C-alpha cells in the first residue's frame, strides 16, 4: 500500500499520510528515494507552508508532533545526519521566521545539534542575536523593535527603549511595520509598494463600537481564565478594560479596515487568546529584561507554528498590493499577531513598579494611568498623583521624559511639544540609547538587509505623498458603549 505520494498527487488525507510516512521513515521503513522525496517536501513545508492548498493542515499540529517525536528517538543515523546537514547548509540563507521554523524542527528532533545562524550582518542574524543578548548597537534597536509585537516591554533594558513604545502617533507604528518587512529581506522596492498603503494616516469609521462589543465575550473569557489567575481581581479588571480598548482600537484602525469583517473578527479573537495567554504566563514576574525577552521568545515560537492562516492574498488585494510580492505571507501573519505594539500604556498604568524604579519610568507610568482614565472623579485623583510625580522628578533629569509624560497626560505646553518634535526629527541631539530609540522607534527609520537605511520622509517623498507628522495632539480615548457585565 502506498501511504504517501508527492504533493502533485494529493488528496484530502494527504497530510495525515505525509506525517505518518515520516514517522515510518524514522523507524527505518521505506527506501532512500522515498525518504529524500519526503524530506524535500518537509523542507518546502518549513520554508513556505502557504504554497500548499490545504492551509488548515499546515500549522504545527499534533500529527507533526507525533512525527517529530519519532525522529527524536530514531536510530536511523544516516537519515538523521542527512536531514541535519541539509537544513544546516540552507539555514544561513533563510529569513528569520523561516530560520525559527528550521530551528524548532532541529531542536525537537535532535536537541544536541546546533543549527547554523543566519548569515553575518543580515537583519535575520541581528534579530536573533537581539532576542537573547544585550542591546548594544543601533541596528539591534532598529531590527529588534518588531519584537515588541509580542512583548510590550521589549527589550526590558535599556528602559529608555521600553518607554519610547508609549509614543502615541501613527509614525511609530508605520516604522514598525516597514521594519518588519525589511527584516524579511524586503528591499526598497517592497517598502515603496507597501508604503503606498501604510504611509498615510489610518481611516477611522463609526462602527468600531459595534465591532468592539462583538469581541467582549471572547476577550473576557480569556482574561478570566488566564490573566485573573495571576493578578488581583480588581487590578485585572482595570487592566482588562484599558488593554481591551487599546487593542481593539489598534485592531480596527490598522487591521480590520484592511480585511473583510468576518475574517477580521475571527482572527482578532484568536490573536486575543494567544496574546493574553502568553502575557498571563509571565505577569506574576516583575517588569524585568528577562520577562521581556521571554515574552518575545514565546511570541516568535507562536509565529513559527502558526504560519498557515489564509491572510496574504486578501490583505494584498485590499491594500492594492501585488499578490505575489515576496514575503507577503510572512509579513501578513507578523502584522496580524503584533498586538504588543499597543499594550504598553495599559500595563504601565496598572502594574506595580518597584520603589527603586527609574524616576522616568514612574513618571510615564503615572502619565499612562491619567491618559487612560475615563471616570471624572478618579481622573481628578490620578491628576493629583501625576502632579506629585512631576514635582518629584529630579531637577537634573532628562527633560524629554517630562515633556513626553505631559503629552501622554494631555497637559503638554507648546514648549513641551516643541521639544518632542525637535528630538523626533533630530535624534542626534541625544546620546545612545535614547538616540537609538528616537531614531528608530519614534522617527521610524528603517534598516534594510544590506545595512543601508531609509527614512519615512524619503519614502513619502519618492511616493509623492504628504510626510507623516512627528507629533500631533493626543486624542481622547475611545468611548465604546460596552456592557462590561460579561
Q: Which residue has the higher pLDDT, 3 or 98?
A: 98
Could you tell me where the beta strands, DSSP code E, fall in 385-459? 446-447, 453-454
- Asked if 71 and 163 sit in the same domain, the reply is no
Q: What is the mean pLDDT of residues 2-26?
A: 74
Instruction: State which residues form the domain around 173.
Output: 159-462
Q: How many residues does the chain have?
A: 486
- Do the domain assignments include residue 153? no
In this predicted structure, the answer to whether residue 265 has a pLDDT above a threshold of 70 is no
Domain identity same for 61 and 198: no
pTM: 0.82
74 and 173 fall within a common domain = no
3-state secondary structure of 447: strand
Report whether 30 contacts 21 (CB < 8 A): yes
Average pLDDT over residues 109-134: 90
Cell of residue 325, nine digits: 510580492
Same domain, residue pair 44 and 191 = no
Handedness of CA 364, 366, 369, 373 (dihedral sign): negative
- Which DSSP symbol is given to 255? I
- Rounded Cα distance between 260 and 265, Å, is 9
Establish if 145 belongs to a structural domain. no
Q: Which percentage of the chain shows pLDDT scores above 70?
A: 68
Q: What average pLDDT score do residues 286-307 get? A: 66
Residue 231 binned pLDDT confidence (cut-offs 50, 70, 90): very low
As for how many domains the chain has, the answer is 2
Q: Is residue 114 part of a domain?
A: no
Do residues 281 and 394 share a domain? yes
Sequence-distant (6+) residues with CB within 8 A of 181 are 190, 191, 194, 327, 331
- Residue 165 domain flag: yes
d(CA 402, CA 349): 16
pLDDT, averaged across the chain: 78
Last residue of a domain, one of 51, 84, 109: 109
pLDDT at 482 over 50: no
For the segment 94-109, the average pLDDT, to the nearest whole number, is: 91
Please report the pLDDT score of residue 168 as a whole number.
83
- State the residue for C-alpha cell 513556505: 48
- pLDDT higher than 60, residue 371: yes
405: which 3 cell numbers?
509624560
Q: Quick one: which of 63, 80, 51, 48 has its CA closest to 17?
A: 63
User: Does 474 reside within a domain?
Assistant: no
Q: In this structure, are residues 180 and 478 in contact, taking their beta carbons and an 8 Å threshold?
A: no
Is residue 307 domain-shared with residue 430, that is, in the same domain? yes
Please state the rounded mean pLDDT for residues 397-410: 96
Looking at the fold, whether 103 and 170 belong to one and the same domain comes out as: no
- For 217, 249, 253, the CA distances from 203, given in Å and listed in that order, are 26, 12, 7
476 assigned to some structural domain: no
The alpha carbon torsion through 165, 167, 173, 178 (nearest 10 deg) reads: -70
Of residues 229 and 427, the one with the higher pLDDT is 427
d(CA 201, CA 193): 16
Amino acid at each position: 500500500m502506498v501511504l504517501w505520494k508527492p504533493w502533485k498527487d494529493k488528496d484530502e488525507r494527504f497530510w495525515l499520510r505525509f506525517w505518518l510516512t515520516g514517522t515510518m521513515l524514522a523507524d527505518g521503513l521505506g527506501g532512500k528515494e522515498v525518504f529524500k522525496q519526503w524530506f524535500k517536501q518537509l523542507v518546502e513545508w518549513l520554508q513556505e507552508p502557504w504554497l500548499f492548498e490545504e492551509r488548515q493542515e499546515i500549522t504545527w499540529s499534533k500529527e507533526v508532533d507525533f512525527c517529530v517525536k519519532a525522529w527524536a528517538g530514531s536510530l536511523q543515523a544516516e537519515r538523521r545526519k542527512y536531514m541535519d546537514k541539509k537544513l544546516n547548509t540552507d539555514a544561513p540563507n533563510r529569513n528569520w521566521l523561516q530560520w525559527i521554523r528550521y530551528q524548532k524542527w532541529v531542536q525537537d528532533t535532535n536537541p544536541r545539534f546546533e543549527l547554523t545562524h543566519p548569515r553575518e550582518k543580515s537583519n535575520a542574524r541581528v534579530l536573533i542575536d537581539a532576542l537573547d543578548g544585550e542591546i548594544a548597537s543601533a541596528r539591534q534597536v532598529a531590527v529588534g523593535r518588531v519584537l515588541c509585537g509580542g512583548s510590550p516591554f521589549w527589550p526590558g533594558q535599556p528602559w529608555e527603549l521600553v518607554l519610547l513604545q508609549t509614543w502615541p502617533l501613527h509614525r511609530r507604528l508605520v516604522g514598525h511595520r516597514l521594519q518588519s518587512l525589511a527584516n524579511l529581506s524586503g528591499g526598497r522596492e517592497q517598502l515603496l509598494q507597501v508604503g503606498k498603503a501604510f504611509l498615510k494616516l489610518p481611516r477611522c469609521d463609526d462602527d468600531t463600537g459595534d465591532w468592539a462589543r462583538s469581541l467582549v465575550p471572547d476577550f473576557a473569557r480569556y482574561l478570566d481564565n488566564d490573566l485573573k489567575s495571576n493578578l488581583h481581581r480588581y487590578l485585572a479588571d482595570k487592566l482588562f478594560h484599558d488593554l481591551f480598548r487599546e487593542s481593539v482600537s489598534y485592531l480596527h484602525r490598522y487591521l480590520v479596515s484592511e480585511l473583510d469583517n468576518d475574517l477580521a473578527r475571527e482572527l482578532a479573537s484568536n490573536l486575543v487568546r494567544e496574546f493574553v495567554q502568553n502575557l498571563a504566563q509571565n505577569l506574576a514576574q516583575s517588569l524585568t529584561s528577562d520577562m521581556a525577552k521571554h515574552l518575545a521568545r514565546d511570541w516568535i515560537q507562536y509565529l513559527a507554528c502558526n504560519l498557515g492562516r489564509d491572510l496574504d492574498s486578501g490583505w494584498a488585494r485590499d491594500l492594492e498590493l501585488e499578490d505575489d510580492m515576496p514575503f507577503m505571507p510572512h509579513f501578513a501573519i507578523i502584522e496580524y499577531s503584533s498586538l504588543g505594539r499597543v499594550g504598553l500604556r495599559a500595563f504601565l498604568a496598572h502594574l506595580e513598579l518597584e520603589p527603586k524604579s527609574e524616576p522616568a519610568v514612574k513618571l510615564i507610568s503615572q502619565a499612562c494611568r491619567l491618559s487612560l482614565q475615563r471616570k471624572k472623579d478618579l481622573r481628578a485623583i490620578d491628576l493629583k498623583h501625576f502632579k506629585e510625580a512631576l514635582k518629584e522628578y529630579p531637577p537634573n533629569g532628562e527633560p524629554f521624559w517630562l515633556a513626553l509624560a505631559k503629552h501622554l497626560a494631555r497637559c503638554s505646553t507648546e514648549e513641551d511639544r516643541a521639544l518632542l518634535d525637535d528630538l523626533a526629527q533630530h535624534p542626534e541631539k541625544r546620546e545612545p540609547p535614547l538616540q537609538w530609540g528616537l531614531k528608530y522607534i519614534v522617527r521610524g527609520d528603517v534598516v534594510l538587509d544590506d545595512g543601508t537605511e531609509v527614512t519615512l520622509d524619503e519614502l513619502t517623498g519618492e511616493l509623492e505623498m504628504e510626510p507623516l507628522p512627528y507629533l500631533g495632539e493626543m486624542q481622547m480615548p475611545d468611548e465604546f458603549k460596552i456592557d462590561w457585565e460579561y
